[in-house]
Amino acid sequence: MYGLIGRMTAVTGQREALIGILLHAVSGLPGCLSYIIARDPSNDDSVWITEVWLDSLSHQAALSLPAVKQALEQGRPLIASMDSHMITEPVGGHGLFEPKC
């Protein structure tokens, strides 16, 4: 499996709008086993995103889906910075399943 842990900071006051765009885009993505969006309680503008994909290919393929492309276009102006970006190798746990497409 292929995983990502990232933190981004929204333009001041735009975190909830950015979260809304992300939530809308993440349902039913082929190969996506987990995609969780979270506020960072230590910074009013920051968002944590943790992702697990079957493999990096499914992650890559998702980036060209219309719904994801649209979300990226809508979201980009609301993002002030991409703060941290870690690649992981998930091995298991609870809450990993492919969406019914």
- When asked if residue 53 is in the footprint of its own copies (CB under 8 A), the reply is no
Q: What is the DSSP letter of 96?
A: -
Q: Rank residues 76 and 87 by Cβ distance to its own copies and give the closer one.
A: 87
Contact 69, 62 (CB under 8 A): no
For residue 59, the surrounding DSSP H or E stretch is: helix 56-62
Among 66, 94, 100, 101, binds its own copies (CB under 8 A): 94
Contact residues toward its own copies (CB under 8 A) are 1, 3, 5, 19, 22-23, 26-27, 29, 32-42, 48, 50, 52, 86-97, 99
